[in-house]
Amino acid sequence: MARNPEHLHALVFPYPTQGHITPMMQFAKKLASKGVIVTFLTTHHRHQQITKAHTLSAEQDDPIEQEARKLGLDIRSAQISDGLPLDNMGGELEQLLHNLNKTGPAVSCVIADTILPWSFEIAKKLGIPWISFWTQPTVLYSIYYHAHLLEDLRHSLCKGTADEGSISIDYIPGVPTLKTRDLPSFIREGDADSQYIFNVLRRSFQLSREADWVLGNSFDDLESKSVHLKPPVLQVGPLLPSSFLNSEHSKDIGVGTSIWTQYDASEWLDAKPNGSVIYVSFGSLIHATKAQLEEIAMGLKDSGEFFLWVLRPDIVSSTVSDCLPDGFLDEIKRQGLVVPWCNQLQVLSHPSVAGFITHCGWNSMLESIALGVPMIGFPFWADQFTNCKLMADEWKIGYRFNGGGQAGDKGLIVRKDISSSIRKLFSEEGTEVKKNIEGLRDSARAAVREGGSSDKNIERFVEGLKGRGI
Ligand code: UDP
């Protein structure tokens, strides 16, 4: 089918985990609102999970298409076989593109997660642009882009011949001075998984240099220094439902991509005074030890503050209640609520929420920034250490735990440091970080408003696609 510049048709293909699907769906909505037809690609398994989470039966409409239609957007849904890390699906993707071309307006570009680099070859084979979409901070993009500068250090760190924590790294373009402990774990650690992921990232970033465009979920007022690469990173975030950026407390979540059913905590939150609740969540992926969960439980309890804690059933290998101290859930009935999963945006936008204990996943941090909620960083792995460094030391919109402990396999953050850090949030120091994050919240909202830097970057991108005559 002939390509028609009036009918731009983008295939949007996120890595199939929550932290990638959600922002790329928000981007799909932005594109669709500018008249682009979008086919949103997930795996069969994720698609079934999303369908189940939205309590639709198999006979009902696709949840993504149905919700998009309600918003008046042309977003179509497509699926590919399961199997991580999805590195052998070139044939299937090519077939899908041929099928889409037969049945609708021809696909004019592939917007793929940076970490799905094999899709590049398929787009090139079909002669359409390939756009690399990065879902972490732009600083991280620059770190991986310049990974060759870290090769020697990485070898020494992995072999244990260099200091694991305190060597200064001040030579990565567009990246503030970091200590070795602030680097992503895949660069620092030499185990087989880290080595494998590091190699995938190396390949991803080699190919990303060939991309027609690179898009990133960040905004210019936050990360302008890291964008000057080849190609430059066009920052189009924060990618959140616009209802949350326009009002303080919204119930409209737009196109839902949650992979689990979201517990509604609003009634519990409504009953709490403004600015009194600590929200605790570690995202969709990390695993924690029983010892760490016990320390968190006791730290929350000892703080004496109200708390809402998202404890995913799969965060530990045994059942959640086995991982909590005996009698904990009964003892904290008046003080806290423990839920398996919630609507994080609704929680963060609730006036009773004062602070967020977060693993520093990038979506969680952007959501906290856009809603003006100060953070206490609890990084476990991957980019979370670097994100925590940016949050605490560069942007000063939160802090790390007292005592310098580290979560994850290598350490333990203990209860007294957890309770004292929570109390700090309600002190003068907390007021300072609250002021800083409210400043950034305003910049984040300005970036996505009509005419703001991110909105203009999306316009530039769409106009650029049209200019290619595709
Ligand atoms: N999230 C949610 N409900 C929860 C906890 C988290 O919907 O109870 C969402 C959160 O809003 C965010 C995503 O899950 O958009 C987590 O992404 P992030 O990048 O923070 O962490 P990851 O899961 O990738 O580690």
Using CA positions, which residue lies closest to atom 11 of ligand 1? 344
Whole-number Å distance, alpha carbon 283 to ligand 1 midpoint, is 4
Q: Which amino acid is at 327?
A: G
Using CA positions, which residue lies closest to atom 17 of ligand 1? 19
> Which contiguous run of DSSP H or E holds residue 459?
helix 453-467
Q: Does the CB atom of residue 135 touch ligand 1 within 6 A?
A: no
Pairing relation of β-strands 375-377 and 353-358?
A: parallel
Q: Which pLDDT score, from 0 to 100, does residue 235 have? A: 97
Using CA positions, which residue lies closest to atom 1 of ligand 1? 344
Evaluate whether 130 touches 119 at the Cβ level (below 8 Å). yes
> Tens digits of per-residue pLDDT, 112-126?
999 998 899 999 999
DSSP-derived 3-state class of residue 169: strand
| Residue 153 placed within a domain | yes
| 389 and 459 fall within a common domain | no
| 161 and 292 fall within a common domain | no
Picking from 238, 287, 213, 208, the residue whose alpha carbon sits closest to that of residue 136 is: 238
* pLDDT grade for 2, boundaries at 50, 70 and 90: very low
Question: Which atom of ligand 1 sits closest to the CA of residue 384?
Answer: 25
| Burial (CB count <10 Å: 0-12, 13-18, 19+), residue 383 | buried
Q: Which pLDDT score, from 0 to 100, does residue 71 have? A: 86
| 289 and 408 fall within a common domain | yes
Q: Does the CB atom of residue 341 touch ligand 1 within 6 A?
A: yes
Rounded to whole angstroms, how far apart are CA atoms 112 and 96? 14
Q: Which of 363, 383, 385 to mutate to test the pocket of ligand 1 (most atoms within 8 A of CB)?
A: 363
Question: Which atom of ligand 1 sits closest to the CA of residue 310?
Answer: 8
Evaluate whether 230 touches 250 at the Cβ level (below 8 Å). no
> How many C-beta atoms lie closer than 10 Å to residue 463's C-beta?
10
> Tens digits of per-residue pLDDT, 50-96?
888 886 555 567 888 888 888 899 999 999 987 655 666 888 999 99
Q: Which pLDDT score, from 0 to 100, does residue 57 have? A: 58
| 232 and 271 fall within a common domain | no
Evaluate whether 311 touches 389 at the Cβ level (below 8 Å). no
* pLDDT grade for 205, boundaries at 50, 70 and 90: very high
| Residue 48 placed within a domain | yes
> Tens digits of per-residue pLDDT, 9-34?
999 999 999 999 999 999 999 999 99
DSSP-derived 3-state class of residue 212: coil
Give 76's strand partners: 39
Looking at the structure of the chain, the number of domains it has is: 3
Distances (CA, A) of 169 to 152, 195, 211, 331: 12, 21, 28, 46
**Tokens describing residue 252:** 């409209």
Name the residue range of residue 124's domain.
9-135+211-240+449-469
Q: At what angle do helices 290-303 and 415-425 cross, to 10 degrees?
A: 40
Evaluate whether 400 touches 388 at the Cβ level (below 8 Å). yes
| 220 and 346 fall within a common domain | no
| Residue 248 placed within a domain | no
Q: Does the CB atom of residue 382 touch ligand 1 within 6 A?
A: no
Residues 6+ apart with CB under 8 A from 307: 277, 278, 279, 280, 300, 332, 335, 336, 337
| 288 and 388 fall within a common domain | yes
In this predicted complex, what is the ipTM? 0.99
Q: Which pLDDT score, from 0 to 100, does residue 83 have? A: 67
Gap between the terminal Cα atoms of the chain: 12
| Residue 255 placed within a domain | no
Q: Which pLDDT score, from 0 to 100, does residue 323 have? A: 85
Question: Which atom of ligand 1 sits closest to the CA of residue 367?
Answer: 11
Q: Does the CB atom of residue 258 touch ligand 1 within 6 A?
A: yes
Evaluate whether 453 touches 447 at the Cβ level (below 8 Å). yes
Q: Does the CB atom of residue 180 touch ligand 1 within 6 A?
A: no
For residue 220, is pLDDT > 80?
A: yes
| Residue 252 placed within a domain | no
Q: Does the CB atom of residue 136 touch ligand 1 within 6 A?
A: no
For residue 213, is pLDDT > 50?
A: yes
Q: What are the DSSP calls for 18-43, one per residue?
A: HHHHHHHHHHHHHHHHTT-EEEEEEE
| 31 and 165 fall within a common domain | no
**Residue after which a domain boundary falls, among 150, 180, 201:** 201
| 129 and 22 fall within a common domain | yes
Q: Does the CB atom of residue 430 touch ligand 1 within 6 A?
A: no
Rounded to whole angstroms, how far apart are CA atoms 10 and 105? 10
> Tens digits of per-residue pLDDT, 136-159?
999 999 999 999 999 888 888 888
Q: How far is CA 402 from the centre of its chain?
A: 25
Residues 6+ apart with CB under 8 A from 57: none
| 41 and 150 fall within a common domain | no
**278 or 409: which leads in pLDDT:** 278
Q: What is the mean pLDDT of the chain?
A: 90
Give 376's strand partners: 357, 399
**468 or 40: which leads in pLDDT:** 40
Q: What are the DSSP calls for 45-86, one per residue?
A: HHHHHHHHHTT--TTSPPHHHHHHHHTT--EEEEEE---TT-
Q: Does the CB atom of residue 310 touch ligand 1 within 6 A?
A: yes
Question: Which atom of ligand 1 sits closest to the CA of residue 365?
Answer: 20
| Residue 362 placed within a domain | yes
**Tokens describing residue 293:** 């969960």
| 303 and 315 fall within a common domain | yes
| Residue 224 placed within a domain | yes
**pTM > 0.90:** yes
Give 416's strand partners: none
| 70 and 114 fall within a common domain | yes
Whole-number Å distance, alpha carbon 18 to ligand 1 midpoint, is 7
| 68 and 83 fall within a common domain | yes
User: What's 230's domain CATH number?
Assistant: 3.40.50.2000
